[in-house]
């Protein structure tokens, strides 16, 4: 999860009386610590995750009897499902077996949170929706800012305002959502105060890929920030897309098990409807900001677009989302697509195999995979070449982008 998402989820836990804090941002110490307990065969997200957890352990005053690591997990064609047992193994080997690793799973829509599960899911969902929105606002405003750093400052202020509100337990849960809408309105105003030149010639580049690597600026070497000086606005696939996907996958699994008319199915459907309702209410103050980069109303729209290339019944995880979302972004007028994945990631490799056909079927829109393994890469050169392709495509494409009215 992104740093903003982690901060928001930690704020949700603090509302419930749990002293929660996000793990530190990755740095070279992350790789150093991870190297002591990994073989080198693990994917980059696994190494960054364990390295950052070990940075928590080495902090002064660390008490294993008072610490738990929260690490949602998932199944499917990914090593992600092994992160939790691997982390517990490392804790045991280091003499910190008392540390609990809490790992709710996508198999049941992350419903296995135990006591306060419903409140935690509700608060956590609000936090994820907001953090996704603030990051999206950052990517909309930063390429156009005329004062360097102004958009980043607006993002930081928005996230702090929301998280302070979310963690304030003096307000009853039943009234919290209305209060958080006020924080969304404040965020809108923070960003609208950013000095900007909206007449700049900026291309729209969709960014898809493996969820950890595309959202972790440390893991992807801050690719989006380094892309923007070439004249690009990034449209990044967010965390909530994944939650909607796991919810839809849960419904498909229930159907396969013959539970179409069951209480489990009713619960799954109601959960999805409630989440969409919360999302719509929280994002209402920002709707005018998102013109031209609106997310799909239903994740099924993305899955249907991917179906000719990767049928949802035979493909799982980010691969089907990345392909479908790339086509969705093309239809919204994107000028190019970047797929960010860890080196050796199955989702990235499978997606890369079908991207040439996807591109050929959609006016030869440029699609480029960027893989990361923790070693330095010549990003500027590769991004510059990619953006030349983007500009050439922009001049001849037929699907024009709808732009927001900034008057």
Task: Indicate if the alpha-carbon torsion angle 62, 64, 65, 70 is positive or negative.
Answer: positive
Same-domain status, 346 and 212: yes
Residue 103 domain-assigned (yes or no): yes
Same-domain status, 369 and 220: yes
Same-domain status, 222 and 333: yes
Residue 156 domain-assigned (yes or no): no
Choose one of 108, 131, 154: the last residue of a domain.
108
- Side by side, the strands of the sheet bearing 336-342 are 232-236, 203-209, 336-342, 367-372
pTM of the model as a whole: 0.93
Residue 307 domain-assigned (yes or no): yes
The reported pLDDT for the residue numbered 115 is 64
Choose one of 108, 129, 157: the last residue of a domain.
108
Same-domain status, 206 and 100: no
The reported pLDDT for the residue numbered 287 is 95
| Domain assignment of residue 301, given as a range | 201-238+295-407
The reported pLDDT for the residue numbered 88 is 87
Cα–Cα dist 384/390, whole Å? 10
Same-domain status, 215 and 337: yes
The reported pLDDT for the residue numbered 314 is 77
Same-domain status, 216 and 91: no
Helix intervals (H) in 94-149: 117-141
* Helix, coil or strand: residue 203: strand
Residue 142 domain-assigned (yes or no): no
The reported pLDDT for the residue numbered 316 is 79
Residue 366 domain-assigned (yes or no): yes
Cα–Cα dist 156/187, whole Å? 10
The reported pLDDT for the residue numbered 161 is 98
The reported pLDDT for the residue numbered 84 is 84
Same-domain status, 82 and 229: no
Q: How many domains does the chain have?
A: 2
The reported pLDDT for the residue numbered 151 is 98
Choose one of 93, 108, 123: the last residue of a domain.
108
Q: What CATH number does residue 398 fall under?
A: 3.40.50
Length in residues, the chain: 407
In tens digits, what is the pLDDT along the chain, a chain of 407 residues?
Answer: 567 889 999 999 999 999 999 998 889 999 999 998 888 788 898 899 999 999 999 999 888 888 889 887 766 556 677 788 888 888 888 888 888 888 877 565 555 666 677 898 899 999 999 999 999 999 999 999 999 999 999 999 999 999 999 999 999 999 999 999 999 999 999 999 999 999 999 999 999 999 999 999 999 999 999 999 999 999 999 999 999 998 998 899 899 999 999 999 999 899 999 999 999 999 999 999 999 999 999 999 999 999 999 988 778 788 999 999 999 999 999 999 999 999 988 889 999 999 999 999 999 999 999 999 988 778 999 999 999 999 999 999 988 888 887 75
Same-domain status, 230 and 93: no
Q: Which two tokens stand for residue 252?
A: 């498909």
Q: Which two tokens stand for residue 231?
A: 């004249």
Residue 243 domain-assigned (yes or no): no
The reported pLDDT for the residue numbered 110 is 55
Residue 341 domain-assigned (yes or no): yes
Residue 407 domain-assigned (yes or no): yes
């Amino acid at each position: 999860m992104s740093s903003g998402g982690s901060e928001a989820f930690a704020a949700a836990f603090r509302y419930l009386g749990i002293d929660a804090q996000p793990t530190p941002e990755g740095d070279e110490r992350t790789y150093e610590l991870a190297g002591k307990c990994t073989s080198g065969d693990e994917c980059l997200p696994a190494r960054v995750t364990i390295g950052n957890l070990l940075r928590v352990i080495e902090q002064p005053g660390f008490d294993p009897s008072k610490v738990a690591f929260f690490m949602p997990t998932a199944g499917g064609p990914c090593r992600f499902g092994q992160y939790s047992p691997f982390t517990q193994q490392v804790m045991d080997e280091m003499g910190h077996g008392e540390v609990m690793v809490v790992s709710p799973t996508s198999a049941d829509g992350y419903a296995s949170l135990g006591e306060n599960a419903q409140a935690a899911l509700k608060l956590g969902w609000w936090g994820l929706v907001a953090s996704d929105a603030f990051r999206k606002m950052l990517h909309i405003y930063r390429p156009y800012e005329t004062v360097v750093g102004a958009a980043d400052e607006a993002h930081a202020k928005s996230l702090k305002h929301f998280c302070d509100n979310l963690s304030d337990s003096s307000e009853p849960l039943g009234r919290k959502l209305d209060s958080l809408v006020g924080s969304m309105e404040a965020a809108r105003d923070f960003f609208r105060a950013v000095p900007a030149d909206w007449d700049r010639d900026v291309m729209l580049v969709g960014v898809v890929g493996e969820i950890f690597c595309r959202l972790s600026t440390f893991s992807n070497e801050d690719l989006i920030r380094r892309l923007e000086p070439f004249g690009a606005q990034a449209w990044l696939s967010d965390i909530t897309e994944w939650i909607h996907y796991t919810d839809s996958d849960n419904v498909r699994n229930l159907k396969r098990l013959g539970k179409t008319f069951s209480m489990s199915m009713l619960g799954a459907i109601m959960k999805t409807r409630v989440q969409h309702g919360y999302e719509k209410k929280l994002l209402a103050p920002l709707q005018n900001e998102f013109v031209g980069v609106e997310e799909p109303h239903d994740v099924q729209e993305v899955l249907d677009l991917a179906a000719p290339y990767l049928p949802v019944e035979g493909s799982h995880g980010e691969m089907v989302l990345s392909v479908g979302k790339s086509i969705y972004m093309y239809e919204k007028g994107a000028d190019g697509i970047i797929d960010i994945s860890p080196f050796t990631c199955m989702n990235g490799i499978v997606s890369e195999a079908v991207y040439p056909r996807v591109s050929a079927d959609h006016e030869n829109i440029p699609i480029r995979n960027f893989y990361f393994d923790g070693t330095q890469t010549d990003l500027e050169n590769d991004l510059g070449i990619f953006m030349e392709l983007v500009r050439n495509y922009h001049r001849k494409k037929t699907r024009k982008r709808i732009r927001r009215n900034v008057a």
